[in-house]
């Protein structure tokens, strides 16, 4: 029979090869699904993976990869710290919303004044909003021992209602003829998170995501706190003997992930999205959890995973409009990709061996 | 800024080049907020798209992307359609308004049509349907047919579109039945079948025997079918599978005539930016067949009202009408102006409760 | 405002209906978590169950066959999760989320031909005499069979966990898979069975929505109920009867909210819509003194290394 044998060290070769194998496997199985739906599989796969990167209009899609990938990477980096320490914040979607709301509220409060200080204040407000929202499960866990998975998830739904209330009430555009949604921050220069270099997709959110990747890498590899995080995740009891204060670590991890999710929300609302509206959130907070695991909780891995997810989103949209594939086929395709990436990861840490075993 | 202009220029040049290559076929794009299988809002827009294909055959090519989130995703999908040579793009959700304007500015040679919004440009038209005309007919039938004098209304979000519908239905129900009372539930969703079903049940349990809905699923119809003696109206699509009872009629969004006309205008080169707000007359709002469960005289009255609204002889908001607080809104014989209607944020006299938000 | 318009008997009867899909999915997930596995893919399994059940009911004309197909569909999808997490040892949180994504897409593909179709009606319990009794009639004797199945299932799971050897083994696996393995129990096989039971229950819950509560098929129609079911399990601190109570509480708040609005009570709707979630958090804090129930090995990966 087949058994898995744990490798003493994760295999470097496999850790590089598995993503490639997974993508190829997805192409084969996804191609079969597309074929069953009556679409030319080769054209569909080429559209999803090739078009955005090297197609005729790649000059437009490449920057869009950054725009779509940056919030995913930013949120996933924050989450990965907690996940490594065994602290499960799955409510990043809520922190993203609250960060966007509080940051946008600050900007809108200044309207129509112009000033260099407005955008930095909004950034601070966004981070603070996300941080505060994450502190609720954090403090409840530290103080009462409540389960942070559940509390943070519940707070997503609370945040969604808050968002609806704000876009219909307090933050509604007074010149919007009663329609829901705030003023468009893209038309308010002091509050607009514009492209830093036009046409590149680089806005402050992308820059922040890059910085977050670097800082997380440094933190995890060069800093005492990073060591404590890793130790807590791998051996909680040993960590306690090593002097890790679990309460502070919980608050730190939840706080950082909340603040980064809040920042992602703020950069999105003040830049690409432009306004607070009822359906402002599009699930980045949940997708980021997948991105964090696809990247194996490693900062560089997360960066690549975020870009890969962005690629399938953008390529999927192109496939929809140019080949007439339904959105659900793209979702199935993405699901397959995730399954293969997750499943094949086993080869990195385990060796497959065939053994003869006698039944006792 | 300069680089951006340059890049935009390049994009436009490319788009024009592709456009020139595909000159023989007119390409029409549709951006949908929901899935085409929602059985309501997006479903009806997709019916309109299919009607365009049926009308022009090989002379047009239509493309669509469904489930597009409002915001940057919408902007990207529109840009992508424009880059790929679309000549005309319909964006079918209110939240696509600013993205449409942004993309339209980059592609001056592509025509855009935005549903339910209020921002226009030289290459951006807006269009919407006067659903409140259909609501007036619903209100009339509801007022005549209710036994309990309680009419339940499942509303989505407190926005002008929805408030206008409530007012219109209420005015015409009261007109034929002074004792009628509205119970309104704000579901805070456009589409959540389970919640809509629960809302319908709650209204029925509290005595409502007519259910009006401004949400898109057929769940309330099914809930009403289970209770005895309750009538409903189809919303967005005909929902004929629930006729003759509980569904006695419906308001249907019929986008096909408009989509065909605008596509033809692009093909003829006669397209200009317009603001269209059409109702029963031009056929953008259709009234689904009134079933035999409605007494013949009520049906005749309803059809007469439909004809009067369609010909322009009657406007559903004709004075005297007071606002909820008793202050005068429209004087005797005065007709509401489109501006007030478009931004309606108040109840008319007789409705109870406050608009949330 | 007219609170007398609210009929408490009908209110209770309809909250039971609103609670049933939640209860079914939660009971299944409870068993899964008791075995030490966290499957966040409940929403995906529910929606696949909803379309499998709907399609089968429409094709065969029998709602009961539909429910059977829903359970099978949910279990089949959950098998995918079992393969990922138990055989390939993938992370459970990520696998569960991926399962939801996949399930939503798959259900939409399967359901393309079923939009706007009316399913066959499900039979209701109708006991002459009993169903017509005032108060208890509509509450206890006027429902569809699946609603009772939910309650029966709750009882069965309670008995199984508390009094049977199978329950003991399941809990042992969930508490410490290494110890259970050392005692010779097939940890992986037990967990796969538990996961499939959870999938079947979630599928039933989904079909309850598409065949009874709504009844129709539309994409994404479960609209987040699977996530609430997940919350419910923790809310119930892994105890079956508390899951039942919690499901009725959740259903109750939703139905009550709508009833209050209909009665004209001026409530801030969006804040009231938050209330079930806030109440859950509050109850969690109150219950946090009680730390029994949480399976110690929840979410951990098991590998028999020696």
In tens, the pLDDT along C143-186 reads 888 999 999 999 999 999 999 999 999 999 988 888 889 898 99
Q: Above 50 in pLDDT, residue B38?
A: yes
Q: What 3-state DSSP class applies to A172?
A: coil
Interface residue of B65, B84, B343 to substitute, partner A, most A CBs within 10 Å: B65
Q: HSE (CB half, 13 Å, CA atoms) of B331? A: 0
Per the model's pLDDT, the better-predicted residue between B128 and C297 turns out to be B128
Do B99 and B207 have their domain in common? no
Cβ–Cβ pairs < 8 A, chains B and C: 111
Q: Is C305 in contact with C93 (CB distance < 8 Å)? A: no
* DSSP conformation class of B59: G
Can you give the CATH number for the domain in which B157 is found?
3.40.50.2300
Chain C, 59-118: which have a CB under 8 Å from a chain A CB? 80, 83-84, 88-91, 93-95, 97-99, 101-109, 112
Beta carbons of C108 and B219 less than 8 Å apart: no
In a domain, B143, yes or no: yes
| String of DSSP letters for C17-42 | HHHHHHHHHHHHHHHHHHTT---TTH
Q: Above 50 in pLDDT, residue B18?
A: no
Do B111 and B222 have their domain in common? no
Query: The domain C3-287: what is its CATH number?
Result: 1.10.3470
Confidence bin at C289 (pLDDT 50/70/90): low
Per the DSSP assignment, residues forming a β-bridge with B276 are B127
Q: Where among B129, B158, B190 does a domain terminate? A: B129
Do B39 and B99 have their domain in common? yes
Q: Looking at the complex, report in whole angstroms how far the Cα of residue B65 sits from the nearest Cα belonging to chain C.
A: 15
Do B124 and B89 have their domain in common? yes
Q: Is A265 in contact with A99 (CB distance < 8 Å)? A: yes
> How does A67-106 read in b/e, with b if 16+ C-beta sit within 10 Å?
bbbbbbbbbbbbbbbbbbbbbbbbbbbbbbbbbbbbbbbb
Burial of B122 (0-12, 13-18, 19+ CB in 10 A): exposed
Give, in words, the CATH class of A65-324: mainly alpha
Q: Is A122 in contact with A270 (CB distance < 8 Å)? A: yes
Q: What 3-state DSSP class applies to B127?
A: strand
Q: Above 60 in pLDDT, residue B23?
A: no
Q: Which long-range contacts does C140-149 make (Cβ < 8 Å, 24+ apart)?
A: C142/C13, C143/C13, C143/C16, C143/C17, C144/C212, C145/C64, C146/C20, C146/C24, C146/C67, C146/C122, C146/C204, C146/C208, C146/C212, C147/C16, C147/C17, C147/C20, C149/C24, C149/C204
- Mean pLDDT for the stretch of residues B38-65: 91
Q: Where among B129, B158, B186 does a domain terminate? A: B129
Around Cβ B57, how many Cβ atoms within 10 Å? 7
Beta carbons of B80 and A317 less than 8 Å apart: yes
Per the model's pLDDT, the better-predicted residue between B108 and C280 turns out to be B108
> What is the model's pLDDT at position B187?
86
* DSSP conformation class of B129: E
Do B196 and B325 have their domain in common? yes
Residue B65 sits at φ, ψ, to 5 deg, of -130, 130
Report yes or no: C273 at the A interface, CB cutoff 8 Å.
yes
Question: Which residue reads 């059809």 in tokens?
Answer: B303
Report yes or no: C116 at the B interface, CB cutoff 8 Å.
yes
Of the candidates B138, B98, B139, the one whose C-alpha atom is nearest the C-alpha of residue B121 is B98
Residue B178 CA to chain centroid, in angstroms? 29
Question: Which residue reads 């914040």 in tokens?
Answer: A89
> What is the model's pLDDT at position A201?
79
Q: How far apart are CA C304 and CA C306, in angstroms?
A: 6
Beta carbons of C264 and B352 less than 8 Å apart: yes
Q: Which residues contact B142 (CB under 8 A, 6 or more apart)?
A: B151, B169, B173, B180, B210, B212, B231, B233
> What is the model's pLDDT at position B204?
92
Report yes or no: C272 at the B interface, CB cutoff 8 Å.
no
Of the candidates A82, A295, A346, the one whose C-alpha atom is nearest the C-alpha of residue C90 is A346
Q: Which residues contact A273 (CB under 8 A, 6 or more apart)?
A: A280, B71, B72
Do B86 and B223 have their domain in common? no
Q: Above 70 in pLDDT, residue B11?
A: no
> What is the model's pLDDT at position B4?
46
Do B332 and B196 have their domain in common? yes
Q: Looking at the complex, report in whole angstroms how far the Cα of residue A179 sits from the nearest Cα belonging to chain B.
A: 6
In a domain, B30, yes or no: yes
Confidence bin at B133 (pLDDT 50/70/90): very high
Of the candidates B76, B298, B97, the one whose C-alpha atom is nearest the C-alpha of residue A65 is B76
A297: its two tokens: 């909780």
Beta carbons of A154 and C231 less than 8 Å apart: yes
A29-43, B167-181, C169-183, C268-282 — which is least confidently predicted?
Answer: C268-282
> Predicted ipTM?
0.86
Per the DSSP assignment, residues forming a β-bridge with A352 are A4
- Mean pLDDT for the stretch of residues A333-343: 88
| Rg of chain A (C-alpha set) | 22
Per the model's pLDDT, the better-predicted residue between C131 and A332 turns out to be A332
Per the model's pLDDT, the better-predicted residue between B31 and C115 turns out to be B31
Do B194 and B327 have their domain in common? yes
Q: Above 60 in pLDDT, residue B5?
A: no
Cβ–Cβ pairs < 8 A, chains A and C: 138
Residues of chain B that touch chain C, judged by Cβ-Cβ distance less than 8 Å: 35, 37-39, 43, 152, 183-186, 188-189, 191-195, 197-199, 201-203, 205-208, 217-219, 222, 237, 241-242, 352-354, 356-357
Element at B213 (helix H, strand E): strand B210-213
Q: How far apart are CA A53 and CA A315, in angstroms?
A: 9
Q: Which residues contact B218 (CB under 8 A, 6 or more apart)?
A: B39, B193, B234, B239, B241, B242, C116, C216
- The pTM of the full predicted model, rounded to 2 decimals, is 0.87
> What is the model's pLDDT at position B310?
92
Q: Above 50 in pLDDT, residue B3?
A: no
Q: How far apart are CA B310 and CA A157, in angstroms?
A: 44
Question: Which residue reads 């075993």 in tokens?
Answer: A357
Domain residue limits, chain C: 3-287
Q: Above 80 in pLDDT, residue A17?
A: yes
Q: How far apart are CA B162 and CA C52, in angstroms?
A: 35
Q: How far apart are CA B250 and CA B239, in angstroms?
A: 8
Of the candidates A252, A292, A269, A256, the one whose C-alpha atom is nearest the C-alpha of residue A97 is A269
The residue segments making up the domain with residue B80 are 2-129
Cβ neighbours of C264 in B, within 8 Å: 183, 352-353
The count of structural domains within chain B is 2
Of the candidates B123, B128, B130, B41, the one whose C-alpha atom is nearest the C-alpha of residue B89 is B123
Per DSSP bridges, beta strands A350-354 and B60-65 are unpaired
Report yes or no: C108 at the B interface, CB cutoff 8 Å.
yes
> What is the model's pLDDT at position B6?
44
Per DSSP bridges, beta strands A350-354 and A2-6 are antiparallel
Nearest CA in chain B to A273: B71
Cβ–Cβ pairs < 8 A, chains A and B: 116
Domain residue limits, chain A: 1-39+328-360, 65-324
Q: Considering CB atoms only, which of A6, A290, A345 is closest to C98?
A: A290
A189: its two tokens: 């220069």
Q: What is the pLDDT of residues C217-255, one digit of tens each?
A: 888 888 888 988 988 887 788 899 999 998 998 888 888
Cβ neighbours of B102 in A, within 8 Å: 186
Q: Hey, which chains touch C, using 3+ CB pairs under 8 Å? A: A, B
Reduced to 3 DSSP states, what percent helix, strand and coil does chain C have, rounded to the nearest 5?
Answer: 70, 0, 30
Q: Above 50 in pLDDT, residue B12?
A: no
Burial of A18 (0-12, 13-18, 19+ CB in 10 A): buried
Q: What is the pLDDT of residues C59-104, one digit of tens each?
A: 999 999 999 999 999 999 999 999 999 988 888 888 998 899 899 9
Do B54 and B179 have their domain in common? no
Q: Is B145 left (phi over 0), alpha (psi -120 to 50) or beta?
A: alpha
* Beta strands per DSSP E along chain A: 2-6, 350-354
Burial of B58 (0-12, 13-18, 19+ CB in 10 A): exposed
In a domain, B152, yes or no: yes
In a domain, B268, yes or no: no
Element at A148 (helix H, strand E): helix A148-168
Q: Above 50 in pLDDT, residue A112?
A: yes
Q: What is the pLDDT of residues A297-306, one digit of tens each?
A: 899 999 999 9
In a domain, B267, yes or no: no
């Amino acid at each position: 029979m087949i058994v898995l044998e744990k490798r003493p060290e994760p295999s470097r070769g496999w850790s590089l090869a598995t993503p490639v194998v997974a993508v190829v496997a997805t192409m084969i199985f996804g191609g079969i699904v597309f074929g069953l739906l009556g679409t030319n599989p080769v054209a569909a796969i080429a559209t999803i993976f090739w078009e955005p990167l090297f197609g005729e209009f790649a000059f437009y899609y490449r920057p869009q990869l950054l725009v779509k990938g940056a919030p995913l990477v930013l949120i996933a980096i924050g989450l990965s710290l907690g996940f490594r320490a065994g602290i499960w914040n799955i409510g990043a979607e809520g922190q993203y919303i609250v960060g966007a709301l509080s940051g946008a509220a600050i900007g809108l409060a200044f309207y129509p004044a112009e000033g260099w200080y407005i955008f930095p204040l909004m950034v601070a407000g966004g981070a603070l909003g996300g941080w505060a929202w994450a502190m609720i499960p954090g403090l409840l866990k530290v103080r009462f021992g409540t389960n942070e998975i559940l509390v943070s998830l519940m707070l997503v739904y609370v945040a969604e209602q808050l968002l609806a209330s704000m876009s219909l009430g307090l933050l509604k555009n007074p010149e919007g003829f009663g329609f829901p949604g705030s003023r468009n921050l893209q038309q308010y220069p002091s509050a607009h998170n514009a492209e830093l270099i036009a046409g590149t997709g680089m806005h402050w959110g992308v820059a922040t995501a890059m910085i977050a990747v670097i800082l997380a890498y440094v933190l995890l590899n060069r800093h005492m706190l990073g060591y404590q995080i890793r130790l807590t995740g791998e051996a909680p009891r040993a960590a306690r003997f090593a002097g890790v204060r679990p309460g502070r670590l919980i608050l730190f991890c939840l706080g950082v992930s909340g603040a980064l999710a809040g920042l992602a929300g703020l950069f999105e609302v003040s830049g690409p999205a432009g306004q607070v509206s009822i359906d402002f959130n599009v699930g980045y907070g949940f997708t980021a959890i997948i991105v964090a695991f696809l990247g194996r909780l490693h900062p560089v891995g997360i960066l690549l995973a975020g870009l890969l997810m962005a690629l399938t989103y953008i390529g999927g949209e192109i496939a929809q409009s140019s080949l007439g594939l339904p959105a659900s086929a793209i979702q199935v395709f993405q699901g397959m990709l995730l399954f293969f990436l997750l499943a094949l990861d086993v080869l990195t840490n385990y060796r497959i061996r065939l053994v003869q075993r006698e039944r006792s | 800024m300069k680089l951006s202009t340059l890049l935009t220029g390049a994009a436009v040049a490319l788009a024009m080049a592709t456009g020139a290559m595909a000159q023989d076929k007119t390409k029409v794009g549709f951006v949908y907020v929901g899935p085409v299988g929602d059985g309501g809002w997006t479903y009806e827009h997709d019916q309109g798209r299919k009607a365009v294909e049926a009308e022009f055959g090989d002379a047009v090519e239509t493309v669509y992307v469904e489930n597009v989130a409002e915001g940057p995703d919408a902007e990207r999908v529109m840009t992508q359609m424009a880059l790929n040579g679309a000549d005309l793009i319909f964006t079918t959700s209110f939240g696509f308004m600013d993205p449409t304007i942004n993309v339209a500015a980059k592609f001056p040679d592509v025509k855009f049509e935005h549903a339910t919004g209020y921002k226009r440009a030289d290459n951006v038209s807006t269009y919407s349907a006067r659903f409140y005309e259909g609501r007036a007919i619903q209100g009339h039938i509801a007022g005549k047919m209710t036994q309990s004098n309680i009419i339940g209304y499942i509303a989505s979000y407190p926005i002008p579109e929805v408030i206008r519908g409530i007012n219109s239905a209420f005015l015409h129900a009261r007109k034929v039945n002074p004792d009628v009372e509205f119970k309104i539930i704000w579901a805070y969703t456009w589409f959540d079948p389970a919640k809509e079903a629960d809302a319908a049940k709650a209204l029925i349990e509290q005595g409502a025997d007519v259910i009006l809905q401004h949400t898109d699923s057929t769940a309330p119809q099914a809930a009403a079918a289970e209770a005895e003696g309750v009538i409903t109206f189809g919303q967005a699509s005909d929902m004929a599978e629930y006729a003759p009872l509980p569904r006695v009629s419906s308001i249907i969004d019929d986008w096909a005539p408009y989509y065909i006309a605008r596509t033809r205008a692009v093909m003829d080169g006669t397209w200009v930016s317009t603001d269209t707000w059409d109702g029963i007359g031009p056929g953008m709002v259709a009234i689904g067949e009134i079933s035999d469960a409605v007494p013949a005289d009520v049906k005749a009255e309803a059809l007469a009202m439909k004809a009067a609204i369609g010909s322009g002889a009657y406007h559903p908001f004709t004075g005297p009408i007071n606002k909820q607080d008793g202050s005068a809104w429209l004087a005797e014989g005065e007709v509401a102006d489109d501006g007030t209607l478009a931004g309606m944020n108040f109840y008319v006299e007789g409705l109870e409760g406050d608009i949330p938000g | 405002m007219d609170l007398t318009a609210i009929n408490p008997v009908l209110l209770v009867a309809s909250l039971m209906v609103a609670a049933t899909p939640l209860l079914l999915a939660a009971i299944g997930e409870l068993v899964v978590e008791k075995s030490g596995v966290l499957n966040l893919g409940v929403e995906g399994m529910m929606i696949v169950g909803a379309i499998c059940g709907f399609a089968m009911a429409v094709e065969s004309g029998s709602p009961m066959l539909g429910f059977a197909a829903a359970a099978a569909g949910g279990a089949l999808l959950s098998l995918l999760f079992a393969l990922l997490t138990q055989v390939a040892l993938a992370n459970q949180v990520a696998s569960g989320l991926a399962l939801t994504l996949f399930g939503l897409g798959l259900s939409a593909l399967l359901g393309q031909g079923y939009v706007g179709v009316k399913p066959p009606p499900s039979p209701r319990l109708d006991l002459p005499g009993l169903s017509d009794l005032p108060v208890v009639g509509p509450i206890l004797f006027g429902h569809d069979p699946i609603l009772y199945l939910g309650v029966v299932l709750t009882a069965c799971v309670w008995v199984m966990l508390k009094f049977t050897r199978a329950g003991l083994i399941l809990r042992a696996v969930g508490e410490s898979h290494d110890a259970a393995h050392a005692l010779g129990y097939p940890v992986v096989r037990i967990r796969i069975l538990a996961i499939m039971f959870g999938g079947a229950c979630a599928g039933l819950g989904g079909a309850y929505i598409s065949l009874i509560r709504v009844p129709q098929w539309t994409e994404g129609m479960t609209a987040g109920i699977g996530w609430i079911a997940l919350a419910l399990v923790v809310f119930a601190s892994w105890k079956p009867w508390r899951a039942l109570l919690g499901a009725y509480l959740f259903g109750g708040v939703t139905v009550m909210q709508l009833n209050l609005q209909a009665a004209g009570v001026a409530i801030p709707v969006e804040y009231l819509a938050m209330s079930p979630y806030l109440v859950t958090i509050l109850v969690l804090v109150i219950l946090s003194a009680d730390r029994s129930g949480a399976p110690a090995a929840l979410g951990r990966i098991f590998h028999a290394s020696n």
